[in-house]
Amino acid sequence: MFRLFDREHPTGPSPAVDIIPLGGLGEFGMNMLLVACGETALLVDAGVMFPEPELFGVDLVIPDISALERYDVRALVLTHGHEDHIGAVPHIFTRFQGPIYGTPFTLALVRPKLEEHGLDPGDRLHTIQPRQIVEVGPLRVEFLRVTHSMPDCVALAIHTPAGVIVHTGDFKIDQTPLDGQPFDMHRLAELGAQGVLALLSDSTNADREGFTGSERTVIDGFEEVFSNAPGRIIVAAFSSSVYRLQVLVDLAEQFERRVAFVGRGMQHMSQTAERLGYLRIPAGLQIRDSDVRDHAPEDVLCLCTGSQGEPMAALPRMAIDDHRHIHIESDDTVVFSARVIPGNEKAVGRVMNHLARRGAHIVSDDQKRVHVSGHGSGEELKLVLSLVQPRFFVPIHGEYRQQARHARMARLVAPAATVLMAQDGDVIRFDDEGGRIADRVHTGRVLIDGTRSGEIVDEVLRDRRHLAGDGLVVPVVVIDGQSGEIESMPEIITRGLAVDPKHDDVLRDLPGVLTRALAAAPAEERTDPGLLKERVRQELQRVFRRRVGRRPLILPVVMEV
């Protein structure tokens, strides 16, 4: 029943098919999945995760893809254009030579990412449409339209020798999508009737009851905001929420307000979406951010970045009066039209406090329906399970508690399905013996410094944590290069040491302590800068450990005269 290619393999066992999540299970973001049949493999998505505060100086986190070395990766298939699904594409682009498949909007977001990293995509970007099928070795990938918070999102039906594997990507079931392109439930039901080997389904909102709701549900809340706002309306949202941008542009036209896109990400996304026909802006409605000051406040709508409190984004800069063109006034209404990502609560709270000090009226989803999720809630997840009725079910995307909740739903809705609770690195194998977690490969995280200086190794991160926790001490020692005699009293430079009387006492004593310690050292050691630096480091570490109980990072400087 589940043998797709029986005509090609009339006798003998079907080749095993392995599914290996490299990221995106038990966490939000960093989505990446490997599907392998024999030596041939394809990747599904290549996403990033944004770092936790304790990852000092880290801009992006991507999956460790060292496990790819054992496979012949023939293609990368992208489900949609969110950063947690495409952000790592430039970092894996050179690790394989095959095509990258995606919808027009998705690839329009990928191309500039590659170019920013100095990579020429050439002819490797292949545009696909829903219901299209592409072949990757023995695998056939069928694309199915799904609805989400941005245009051009697809699920995948991967036809393998072992059976059909359905990967939903990120989705919700929007019955009234703004672009008129509905969720392809008909094809999903056909696949279910024909027999689906395994379903891998988005678990992000598995702990939410009911239905998520259409993107249209925010219209009423925003109409109320537009009707009551005496001055400018400033809406902070994810720039990728193109449907939200369309709702706001339509309302701006209805309420006779001009629209300014503020922030580099918002400007780039709006231009790309308008160029491809996914965002319709009436002629004469849009103004530049530099022109906002030339219009009456009650005639302006600003759509900006910064809904998560990112320090350099547009709204946080406005909040501290540091934006070149826009300054918050007491009659302004600021709307946070995005869900706060866990971990960003303090940053968003700080921005709200700064806005409140400037007299702005603040509106969030807690007060009015100005945001709707792009992920399906419980009833939508049950509907997909009911349509597909897979033999095996693997909950993906989201933290473990969401995956576990999704698994419980599967046991109720599709009781014949075997649930496989996988983790990143698990090898899920389908063969003539059935489906199971058969092995593990090495997975992990790679930390990326956004300056493009490369990956941040453990030692660098450890030093950054060390600096943040205990500070920095730079002892400067001047010696005679010939005799090794100390020419002057050592100087001690500090950064990041806590203000404490014990520190003051130690810092006052250190030059004398160092002078005595170096005077007692052999002349050969004093004339060797490397040995002298190590002596200075050890002496200062000993003093700080004994007298202060701290271990600042010590960087000796030896100057020879």
Residue 206 bridge partners (DSSP): none
- The strand pair at 472-479 and 553-554 is best described as parallel
Place of tokens 């997840």: 381
Secondary structure letter of residue 16 according to DSSP? P
User: Rounded to an integer, what distance in angstroms lies between the CA atom of residue 28 and that of residue 198?
Assistant: 22
Residue 165 bridge partners (DSSP): 158, 198
Helix axes 400-413, 378-388, angle to 10 degrees: 50
SS3 readout for 313-378: CHHHHHHCCCCCCCCCCCCCEEEECCCCCCCCHHHHHHHHHHHHHCCCEEECCCCCCCCCCCCCCH
User: Rounded to an integer, what distance in angstroms lies between the CA atom of residue 410 and that of residue 407?
Assistant: 5
User: Where are the strands (E) in 92-132, listed by range?
Assistant: 100-102, 125-127
Place of tokens 């992920």: 375
User: Rounded to an integer, what distance in angstroms lies between the CA atom of residue 459 and that of residue 150?
Assistant: 39
The kind and range of the H/E element at 59 are none
The type of residue at 83 is E
User: Rounded to an integer, what distance in angstroms lies between the CA atom of residue 535 and that of residue 517?
Assistant: 9
Catalytic-labelled residue, pool 202, 424, 426, 470: 202
Catalytic-labelled residue, pool 82, 91, 323, 375: 375
Phi and psi angles of residue 531, each rounded to the nearest 5 degrees, phi first: -65, -35
User: Rounded to an integer, what distance in angstroms lies between the CA atom of residue 529 and that of residue 22?
Assistant: 47
3-class DSSP state for residue 525? helix
**C-alpha dihedral (302, 303, 307, 310), degrees to nearest 10:** -80
Kindly give the residue spans of alpha helices, DSSP state H, lying in 446-554. Answer: 458-470, 501-519, 523-526, 529-547
User: Rounded to an integer, what distance in angstroms lies between the CA atom of residue 84 and that of residue 454?
Assistant: 19
- Find out whether 274 and 245 touch, Cβ atoms under 8 Å: no
Tell me which residue of 225, 163, 155, 237 sits closest to 197, measured CA to CA.
163
Q: Is 375 one of the catalytic residues?
A: yes
Tokens matching residue 278: 């996914």
The type of residue at 79 is T
- Find out whether 556 and 537 touch, Cβ atoms under 8 Å: yes
User: Rounded to an integer, what distance in angstroms lies between the CA atom of residue 492 and that of residue 513?
Assistant: 12
Q: How far is CA 444 from the centre of its chain?
A: 15
Residues labelled catalytic: 202, 375
